Structure 1
Amino acid sequence: MSRKISLNARLALDADGSEEVEVVLLQFTHPETSQIVRLSTDPTERLSVEPLQYGTRSTWLGANPKKDDEAFLFVLVSVLIPDDQETAPPAMRVVMEGVDNELAQVLRSTTERAEASMAVVLASSPDVVEQEWRNFKLVRAEGQGEGITLTLSRAPLTEEPWPAGRMTRERFPGLHP
């Protein structure tokens, strides 16, 4: 399957050196709250002075770039894009730097899984999505102190029903003479 990449992104990828900056946008939602957490890997512009915040303004997933509370806030984060293994569902890892232990406790304290989506845009054109992954579930939050690693997956193995359906006479009469 081919994907469309903008001309600016293709020129930046093909150039020996480019001033274009790829930005990863992350959006987290949770069924227990109406709050949407939007994160960016680039301090594209200053959003506020007090408190000092940087971030990226984009219309991705319906965000209003004119509202400061709907901007994607800059955090120190490393992202490993979803892998494509045959034996496992696609999974991505997000490593958040410079966070405190309270965030790790909050991430582990919920009973329902948060939903996450990720997109790659250029800093010069944050409304043009170059690549995106949607509808991932937060399946693990590990780490303490300076960094937390979030593991996101599309089909968590922990949601598989157990015990699985049995091939009994009552459920599958065609299998039993």
Structure 2
Amino acid sequence: MPRLISLNARTAAHAQATDRIPVTLTEIRHPELPEPIRLSSDPTVRLSTDPLRYGTRHKGQAYEFVLMGLPWPDDQRGSAPKTTLVFENVVADMAKPLRSILSPPTADLTIVMADTPDVIEARYLKLKGTLGTWDASQISLDASRESFANEPMPSGRMSKARFPGLFR
């Protein structure tokens, strides 16, 4: 099924040259983290001067700018959307939250345009982190939605003891 995006985003995508750029907002959540980690792929506005930080404001929340590479999740028939988030490791403590958690985090990806950050172009919710790796130069997090093929079907055997209404 094709994804619907706004006319402004389509015009910017097909233009030969444009100043409208897509911005990926990433929110990583986990019960062991004190608050969600909010990251932006674009330094849209100045968030603070001391320390100097840039990022994107989306619906009242500040998303901090980091150098990130991210292919948008695929929409293929028969498979769950999956992507790999790659963050450049430019700060000494950047991998610390990833090292501190043992179970998979949850990531929400929101795609907006830089000039209209409150208008959502695409959204991928509740992607589960499947693999996290880091080294001196980058941090990678593979994220995917859980496949519906993993759901047990049927969940139980249709026996007389469990479903007596079937055997009347």
User: Shorter-chain TM-score: which interval?
Assistant: 0.7 to 0.9
Contact 2:33/2:97, CA 8 A, preserved across alignment: no
Separation in 2, partners of 1:148, 1:31: 20
2:112 corresponds to 1:112: no
1:138 matched to which residue of 2?
129
2:35 matched to which residue of 1?
35
Separation in 2, partners of 1:72, 1:53: 10
1:25 matched to which residue of 2?
25
2:82 corresponds to 1:91: yes
Do the aligned partners of residues 126 and 105 (structure 1) sit closer, same or farther apart at CA in structure 2, a change above 3 Å counting?
closer
Separation in 2, partners of 1:87, 1:130: 23
TM-score by structure 1 length? Answer: 0.75
Q: CA deviation at 1:138?
A: 1.1
Amino acid in the other structure paired with 1:21: I
2:44 corresponds to 1:44: yes
2:77 corresponds to 1:74: no
Q: CA deviation at 1:102?
A: 5.0
Structure 1 counterpart SS, 2:13:
helix
Q: What's the Cα RMSD here?
A: 2.8
Separation in 2, partners of 1:85, 1:101: 37
Amino acid in the other structure paired with 1:125: T
Q: CA deviation at 1:110?
A: 2.0
1:168 matched to which residue of 2?
none
Separation in 2, partners of 1:17, 1:149: 31
Structure 2 counterpart SS, 1:33:
coil
2:123 corresponds to 1:123: no
Unmatched tracts of structure 2, length 5 or more: 161-168
Do the aligned partners of residues 100 and 14 (structure 1) sit closer, same or farther apart at CA in structure 2, a change above 3 Å counting?
closer
Contact 1:104/1:141, CA 8 A, preserved across alignment: no
Amino acid in the other structure paired with 1:57: R
Separation in 1, partners of 2:4, 2:144: 24
Do the aligned partners of residues 142 and 123 (structure 1) sit closer, same or farther apart at CA in structure 2, a change above 3 Å counting?
same
Q: Which has the higher helix share?
A: 1
